[in-house]
Structure 1
Amino acid sequence: MQSEKQDPVNYYVGIDVGTASVRAALVDQFGTIVAHADQPIQIWEPQPDHYEQSSDDIWAACCTVTKKVIQQVEVAWIRGLGFDATCSLVVVDKQFQPLAVNYEGECKRNIIMWMDHRAASQVDRINGTQHSVLSYVGGAMSVEMQPPKLLWMKENLRQSCWEKAGYFFDLPDFLSWKATGVTARKPVLSPGSFCWKWPTPEAAKDLGLAEGTAVAASLIDAHAGGLGVIGADVKGYNLPCENQPVTSRLAVICGTSSCHMGISDAPIFVPGVWGPYYSAMVPGFWLNEGGQSATGKLIDHVVRGHVAFPELQAKAAASAQNIYTYLNSHLDLIKKSLPVGFLTVDLHVWPDFHGNRSPLADLTLKGMVVGLTLYQGLDELALIYLATIQAIALGTRHILETLQSAGHHISTLFLCGGLSKNPLFVQMHADVTGKPIVLSKEVESVLVGAAILGACASGDFASVQEAMERMGKIGKIVQPNHRDKRFYDKKYEVFLKLVEHQREYKAIMQGV
C-alpha cells in the first residue's frame, strides 16, 4: 500500500532587533517557531539621556542569528524574510558609511536610539508651534520620535554630521535597505508587502539565504508583536471578543518599554496617544499606539538597585530559579491570608522614571514611590517589586481608559513580549484592567509577527489578515479576579492622585 505524499511545509525567517539584542526565528506556515537564536548588541551611553548604537554591529548580529537558525533545522527552502526593529535613527553618508551622531566623533556609533532624550529642548519648540500635524501624535510629539533628533543634529553636529549625511533611516527601513540595496521608500508599502526585489547577492550570502528569498517591507518591533497576537482565531475560548470585530482587541507588547496597539475601522484621534495611522500595522485598519517608556527596564532598575538584591540573587541561584520567579514565590510566602496584590495597600508607585509617553505625553514627569520604611530586607524588595508591576498595570489602565473615552471599544487584551512570561505581571494586568488576557502559544510573538511579514511577501497568503489568523495561535487565557476590583479601583484613584500631586509640587517650586 502506497503512503500518501505529504505537502511540503513552508518556512520563513523573522528577525527582531530589540533594544539590547537581535533575535531570529525560523517559523513554519502554522506559526510554530522551530528554531531560535539571539545575540546581544552594544549600547553606548556617553552622557545622561544619550543612547547610541552601531548599524554595523546590528547588521552583523542579524547575519549571525539568521545563519544559526538556518543551521539548526534542515529545510529545503526558506520562502520569505521579515524584519522588525526599534524606531531608532540610523545616519550614514552619501556612500552609506556610518556617521557619528555624537560629540566624540565616533563614527561606529551612528544610531540615536529610540529611548534617547537628548532632543528635549527641540521637541519643546516643535510642540510649541501647535501645528495641525501634531494631532496625529496625540497633540504633542515625543522626544523619542525622529524629527526632534534630526533638529538636534542640525543644531549640534552641523559640520560633522548634518552636512555630510546622505541618508537618514528608521532602523527597520535600514534593515530592508541593507538586505535589498533599494533606498526608495515611496510609494509607502503596507506591512508584509514585497520589498521591491530579492536580497542582493552580498546580503544573501551574509544572511545564509538563497537569492530568491522574498524580502518584506519592515515594521517597528511593537507593530510586529501586534501582528503576531492580535489576529489569532479565538473561536471556542469563551472570550468577549469572540463575537466582536478585531477592533475590540488591544495588543500590549511588553519588553524594555511597553506599547499598546488599538486598531479601528475609521480614524480616531486620542489625546496623548500616537496616531491614527492608516495601515501602519494591519492593512486596512487605522492604528493608535499608546506606550510606557520604561517597563521591563523599570522593574530591573528597581530590583537590581535595591540593597537586598545580592541576597535575592544568591537565594535565587541556590534554588535554581531566575530572580523574578523567586520573587513571585517569596510574595506567596509573605502574603498570609491576603490576596498577593493587597500587600501594597500602603505602598504606591508612579512609574514614569523615564517620562510619560502616553496618555499624558509629558517628558518631564518623574518616578514616585510613596510608603517607604526603614526596613531594607528581602520582604521589602519583594513588595516594591510588586508595587512597581502594579504601577505599570495601572499605567496600562490609564492608556486603555483614554482610548475608550475617545471611541475605541476594547474587551480583551492580547499580551506578548518578555514580560508576558511573568505570571504575576500578566495577572496584575488582568486584575487592574478587569479584562481577560490572551497569551500566545508562541511567547515570542514579535518574531512570529516578523515571520508573518516574510510569509506575506512570499505570496503564500492572500493577505496579512489571513496570515495573522493562521500563524497566530492562542496558548493561555488569564481571567481577572473580579473579587479584587474594589481594591484596584482604589489603587487607581491613588495612582491618578500621585501625578496630580507631582504637578502641584512642580508648580510650587517654579520660580525658585
Structure 2
Amino acid sequence: MNYFIGIDVGTGSARAGLFDQNGQLLANHSRAIQTWKPQPNFVEQSSADIWESICICTQAVIKDAGIHPAAIKGLGFDATCSLVLVGANGQPVTVSPDGDDAQNVIVWMDHRALAETEFINHSCKSPVFDFVGGQISPEMQTPKLLWLKKHLPESWERTAHFFDLPDYLTFRATGVDTRSLCSTTCKWTYLAHEAAAGKSGWQDDFFNAIGLDELVTENYTRLGNDIQPMGQPIGQGLSEQAAQELGLEPSTAVGVSIIDAHAGGIGMIGMPDQKEGPTPQSLDNRLALIGGTSSCHMVASPEQRPISGVWGPYYSSMIPGLWLNEGGQSATGALIDHIIFNHGATESLIKASKEDGCTPYEVLNHKLQELADGEPLYSLTRNLHVCPYFHGNRSPRANPHLVGMISGLHLSASLDDLARLYLATIQAIAYGTRHIIEAMNAAGYNIDSIVCCGGGTKNPIFLQQHADITQCKIILPEEPEAVILGSAMLGAVAAGHYKDVQEAMAGMSRPGQTMHPHTDAQSYHNSKYRVFHKLYEDQIAYQDIMS
C-alpha cells in the first residue's frame, strides 16, 4: 500500500491528512494560523507561521497513523489564493503598513486594493477580461500588486518572488520556482488556453496598461515562467531541509499545487453517483460547492462558456483539458459567525452550548426545531429577510462595494430572535447559490446536483435549505475532508501512482449521503427569493438617492 499526504491552508488554519492509495483517511491534524488586521479591509498573515503549522500537522499525522515516512510516496499542497512576498534570500518581505517583515502575506479576503481594482477595470480593454467574468476582483492578485507598488514601494523593490500561497508552499518544500496553472490562471490573469496553443500566457498589453510594466520588462520573472499543470512532479521532490522539517523522506514527490477550493473540486466532483463516474460531457449537471469562510461554486465543461459576473472560463485550471467557471460568495461561514457571535443573545448561546456540551450551531438548530413546533421550519423567517452582501458580492453581481441588509427586526434580542436570524442568514446564502446556478444554467449548464464539502456543509439545516431553495439534489462525499483529499490526489499523481488527475479522482473519491429537495417549500422560497432580489434593488436605489 502506498500513502499520500494532502496539506491544506485555509483562512484560519493549516491541516494535513494522510490517505492510502484508495482515498481512505488514516489521520488528520489541524493548527490555527495567526492573522493580523492592522486597518479596516487589511488582512495579513505570515508565511513562516504557516509553514511551521504545516510541519507540526504533518509530523502529527505520520505519528498518529503509525506509517513509516518511506511509505509516503507523494505530497500535495493547496491553500487560499493569498499573495506572498519573498526576497532574493528567501526571507519574507512585509506587506504591512506596520513594516514588520514577518507579515508578508496579503490574505485573499483583504480588500485594501478596492481603488486599484476600479482603476484596472476602467483603464484598458484586454482579452484577460473575457476570462474573469468581465472584470477583475479585489480578491485577485493584480490589484494587490498595484497597491504594493503605489503604497509600499520599498517592499515592491525588495521582492524577488510574488507567489500565490499554494505556489509558495511548493517552493518552500522543493526550492524550485514552479507555478501552478490553477493559481496563475484564476488569480493572475494568465491565459492558459493561449499557452496551450503555443503562445504566451502572460498578456503584455494588460500589464503595461495598468501600470505594472516592470513585470513585462523583467519577462515576468517575479511572477514565474515555469507554469505547470496541477499534480506534475516538481524538481527532485522534497529538499533535505523541508523533509527534515516535515518529518518525511528527502525526494518524496511533490505535486504542482492548487487553490484550496479547487482541491475540494477535484476531491469530489468526479466521484461516481451511480456505477460510474461522470464523463467530461456529463458534468453539465453537477456543481461543486466548497464551503468555508467564503464559498466557491465550481462547474466544468469541455466547452468555453463566458458568464458575466462569474470567474472564468479558465482552461485546465481545475480538471486538465476542461474549462472551469467559478462562482462564489465572499462571506458565508464568516457571515454566519458574524451574525451569531455579535448579537444580544450571543452570551446566552455560548452558555447553552457549554451546558449542553454541543456546538453553538447545534444549539440553534435545536432551538429552530422547538420554534417550528410541527410547522415547516423554513417558514420561521416569513417576515425576516437578509441581504448577505456583508463583504460585497463575488458572483454574479461582481460588486465588492455592496453591503449587508436585514429587514424585520424587533425591539428584542432573545435566543429565539437569534435562531430566526441565523436561519434567515443561511437562507440568504442559499438564495445567493440559486442566483449563481441560474446564471450558470443560462450559459449552457443544466445543474440539478450539488456536491458539497467543508464548513456549513456539515450542518444539516444549511444543507436542507440549499436543497430546497435550489431544488437540487445534494451529494456528500464519503470522505468529508474532500479538500485535503484533493491535495493528496496531486501527491499521488506526482508519485506516478495515478497517471493523471482524472484517474486519481476516479480512484480516490466516492459518494456518501444524498439529500433531496422538499418540493412543498418551493412556493415559499420563490417568494423569499423575490425579496432577496428586491433587497439588492433597494440598496442600489438608496445609493442613488444619497449620491
Regarding TM over 0.5, the answer is yes
Instruction: Give 1:225's aligned amino acid.
Output: G
1:141 is the counterpart of 2:136: yes
1:198 is the counterpart of 2:192: no
Contact 1:90-1:171 within 8 A present in 2 as well: yes
TM-score of the two chains, using structure 2 as the length reference: 0.89
Question: SS of the residue aligned with 1:163?
Answer: helix
Contact 2:396-2:439 within 8 A present in 1 as well: yes
Unmatched 5+ residue regions in structure 1? Answer: 1-8
For residues 335-382 of structure 1, give each alpha carbon's deviation from its aligned partner in whole angstroms, at most 9, with x where no partner exists.
123211111011110101001111101011000001111121110000
Instruction: Give 2:11's aligned amino acid.
Output: T
1:376 is the counterpart of 2:413: yes
1:479 is the counterpart of 2:516: yes
Contact 1:234-1:242 within 8 A present in 2 as well: no
CA displacement at 1:130 relative to structure 2: 4.7
Q: Of 162, 185, 191, which aligns to 2:156?
A: 162
CA distance in 2, matches of 1:271, 1:196: 39
Q: Of 116, 128, 131, which aligns to 2:125?
A: 131
Contact 2:280-2:301 within 8 A present in 1 as well: no
* Shift in alpha-carbon separation, 1:491–1:244, aligned structure 2, 3 A: farther
Contact 2:287-2:447 within 8 A present in 1 as well: yes
CA RMSD of aligned residues (A): 1.5
CA displacement at 1:242 relative to structure 2: 9.8
Question: SS of the residue aligned with 1:80?
Answer: strand
TM-score of the two chains, using structure 1 as the length reference: 0.95
Contact 1:100-1:110 within 8 A present in 2 as well: yes
Contact 1:354-1:363 within 8 A present in 2 as well: yes
CA distance in 1, matches of 2:139, 2:65: 39
Contact 2:475-2:511 within 8 A present in 1 as well: yes
Q: Of 375, 387, 404, which aligns to 1:367?
A: 404
Question: SS of the residue aligned with 1:153?
Answer: helix
For residues 139-187 of structure 1, give each alpha carbon's deviation from its aligned partner in whole angstroms, at most 9, with x where no partner exists.
11111110000000000011x2011111100000000100110114344
Instruction: Give 1:228's aligned amino acid.
Output: G
Question: SS of the residue aligned with 1:212?
Answer: coil
Question: SS of the residue aligned with 1:45?
Answer: coil
CA displacement at 1:442 relative to structure 2: 1.3
Q: Of 297, 314, 320, which aligns to 1:277?
A: 314
CA distance in 1, matches of 2:6, 2:473: 28
Equivalence for 2:89: 95
Equivalence for 1:13: 5
Equivalence for 2:74: 80
Equivalence for 2:215: none
CA distance in 2, matches of 1:403, 1:129: 28
1:497 is the counterpart of 2:492: no
Instruction: Give 1:122's aligned amino acid.
Output: E
Q: Of 42, 46, 56, which aligns to 1:50?
A: 42
Contact 1:235-1:242 within 8 A present in 2 as well: no
* Shift in alpha-carbon separation, 1:242–1:108, aligned structure 2, 3 A: closer
Equivalence for 2:260: 221
Q: Of 480, 489, 492, which aligns to 1:443?
A: 480
CA distance in 2, matches of 1:201, 1:317: 46
Equivalence for 1:35: 27
1:291 is the counterpart of 2:291: no
CA distance in 2, matches of 1:98, 1:224: 26
CA distance in 1, matches of 2:385, 2:420: 10
CA distance in 2, matches of 1:306, 1:234: 41
CA displacement at 1:131 relative to structure 2: 2.0
CA distance in 2, matches of 1:304, 1:82: 35
Contact 2:353-2:359 within 8 A present in 1 as well: yes
Contact 1:13-1:80 within 8 A present in 2 as well: yes
Equivalence for 2:166: 172
Q: Of 450, 456, 474, which aligns to 1:419?
A: 456
Equivalence for 1:256: 293
Percent identity of paired positions between Structure 1 and Structure 2 = 48
* Structure 1 segments (4+ residues) deviating >6 Å: 241-244
